[in-house]
């Protein structure tokens, strides 16, 4: 296990474009932590991982593992194991040979290789598959072999570059749970790259949301979900994404309101002093789909706001139904409602939400307006 530290790490590619792929990333990963780098394609997460692995050079900044600077240390000498999106198994080798290949290359004693391979195969449920070739394995079994090949090396840090992207939905869930289980068993430092927010929320001790090569926010999954730093994080972390609306901040007796033609919401989470300078100005108001209800009594004992509009799509998903509402031309709102929903496209609806479940962002910077009750 190890502590991994990134201090103002940047990566700029040479050439005419001079593309800055990673920009001043500061990140400290604790011993035994499962850190997830999350973001859309092109945000710099895989490049950051590859710099940690030694597969990409570092333009500026300092990378250290357990206090040892790694900037100029070769990948093979970093005591790191990496699991790629493609399993990268040798098709002509058996599972046993694939598991032991890296150890043989390092001239480890044969008895030690056999011990590690057998122990890892037992741990991952591969003991009965040691003589099979990769073509005779399922996708989940191949992923376990790729994980096992990393585990037998007993590295200080595990790196995962979107390892579940090639799996179907059911297998992705099973393999995700397998990785969570192995992290609990090994207690190793793991750094995992994904664009899938479900993977990030369910697997990570902490998540680092990246956007445009920069760190947008770092924190425990639920902390980031309920306290997004800006509108990018608010929209990216959540399915469906958070509903965001441009709104006016109005003064009213006893407090402030977010309101426009279709929205009216008391801003109970924010003290009057926080909003005083925003009165009469435009801000961005947010509410998540799961906090919207068709009846105001769905939030008993709480102040509530409401959104009015016309339903234009109903998406039954079995356990729940998504209702898509057009509040005004070009402005949409999504609500996650009961599977017994009776609304039809074209119906006029009013959606209610508790004021405690609302968000407010600056219209210029997109940064969250801090609430004393967050």
CA-to-CA separations, 264 to 217, 247, 307, in angstroms, rounded:
29, 9, 7
CATH number of 4-228: 3.40.50.300
Return contacts of 229-233, CB within 8 angstroms, 24+ apart.
229/367, 229/368, 230/361, 230/365, 230/366, 230/367, 230/368, 231/284, 231/286, 231/361, 231/366, 232/366, 233/209
pLDDT confidence bin for 359, thresholds 50/70/90: very high
Burial label, 249 (beta-carbon count in 10 A; 0-12, 13-18, 19+):
buried
pLDDT cut 70: percent of the chain above it: 96
What is the model's pLDDT at position 155? 87
- Structure tokens of 299? 């939030």
What is the model's pLDDT at position 371? 67
Phi, psi of 284 (to 5 degrees): -110, 125
DSSP state letter for 77: G
Ordered by start, the domain boundaries in the chain are: 4-228, 236-362
Q: Rounded to an integer, what distance in angstroms lies between the CA atom of residue 327 and that of residue 235?
A: 18
At 227 the three-state DSSP class reads coil
Q: Minimum mean pLDDT among 66-75, 123-132, 139-148, 350-359: which range? A: 139-148
At 241 the three-state DSSP class reads coil
Q: pLDDT digit string (tens) for 212-260?
A: 999 999 999 999 999 999 999 999 998 899 999 999 999 876 678 899 9
DSSP state letter for 52: H
What is the model's pLDDT at position 271? 78
Residue 374 in contact with residue 341, Cβ under 8 Å? no
CA-to-CA separations, 47 to 76, 173, 226, in angstroms, rounded:
18, 26, 28
Is the pLDDT confidence value at 198 over 60?
yes
Q: Rounded to an integer, what distance in angstroms lies between the CA atom of residue 160 and that of residue 182?
A: 13
Residue 181 in contact with residue 193, Cβ under 8 Å? no
What is the model's pLDDT at position 177? 83
3-state helix, strand, coil split of the chain in percent (to 5) is: 30, 35, 35
Residue 258 in contact with residue 285, Cβ under 8 Å? yes
CATH topology of domain 236-362: OB fold (Dihydrolipoamide Acetyltransferase, E2P) (2.40.50)
CA-to-CA separations, 231 to 152, 209, 307, in angstroms, rounded:
42, 12, 20
Residue 302 in contact with residue 266, Cβ under 8 Å? no
What strands lie across the sheet with 189-194, from one edge to the other?
Answer: 80-83, 157-161, 189-194, 34-38, 206-211, 214-219
Q: pLDDT digit string (tens) for 142-151?
A: 888 988 888 8
Asked if 4-228 and 236-362 have one fold, the answer is no
The residue ranking higher by pLDDT, 270 or 48, is 48
Q: pLDDT digit string (tens) for 42-70?
A: 999 999 999 999 999 999 999 999 999 99
At 340 the three-state DSSP class reads coil
At 204 the three-state DSSP class reads coil
């Amino acid at each position: 296990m190890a502590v991994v530290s990134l201090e103002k790490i940047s990566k700029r590619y040479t050439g005419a474009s001079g593309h800055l792929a990673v920009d001043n990333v500061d990140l400290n990963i604790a011993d035994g932590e499962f850190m997830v780098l999350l973001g859309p394609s092109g945000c710099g997460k895989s490049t950051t991982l590859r710099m940690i692995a030694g597969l990409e050079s570092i333009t500026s900044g300092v990378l250290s593992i357990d206090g040892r600077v790694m900037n100029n240390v070769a990948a093979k000498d970093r005591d790191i194991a990496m699991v790629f999106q493609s399993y990268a198994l040798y098709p002509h080798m058996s599972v046993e040979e694939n598991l032991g290949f890296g150890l043989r290359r390092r001239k480890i004693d044969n008895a030690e290789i056999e011990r590690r391979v057998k122990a890892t195969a037992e741990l991952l449920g591969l003991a009965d598959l040691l003589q099979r070739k990769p073509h005779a394995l399922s996708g989940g079994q191949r992923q376990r072999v790729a994980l096992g090949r990393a585990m037998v090396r007993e590295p200080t840090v595990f790196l995962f570059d979107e390892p579940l992207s090639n799996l179907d939905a059911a297998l992705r869930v099973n393999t995700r749970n397998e990785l969570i289980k192995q992290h609990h068993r090994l207690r190793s430092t793991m750094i995992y790259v994904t664009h899938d927010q479900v993977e990030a929320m369910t697997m990570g001790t902490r998540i680092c949301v990246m956007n445009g090569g920069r760190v947008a926010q770092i924190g425990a999954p639920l902390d980031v979900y309920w306290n997004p730093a800006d509108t990018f994080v608010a929209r990216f972390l959540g399915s469906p994404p958070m509903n965001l609306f441009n709104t006016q901040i109005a003064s009213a007796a006893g407090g402030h309101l977010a309101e426009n033609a279709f929205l009216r919401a008391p801003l109970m989470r924010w003290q009057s002093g926080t909003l005083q300078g925003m009165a009469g100005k435009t801000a961005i108001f947010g509410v998540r789909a799961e906090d919207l209800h068709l009846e105001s009594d769905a939030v008993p004992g709480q102040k509530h706001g409401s959104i009015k509009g016309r339903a234009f799509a109903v998406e039954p998903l079995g356990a729940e139904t998504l209702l898509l509402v057009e509040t005004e031309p070009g402005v949409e709102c999504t609500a996650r409602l009961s599977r017994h929903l009776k609304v039809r496209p074209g119906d006029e609806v009013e959606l209610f939400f508790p004021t405690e479940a609302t968000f407010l962002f600056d219209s210029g910077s997109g940064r969250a307006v801090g609430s004393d009750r967050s």
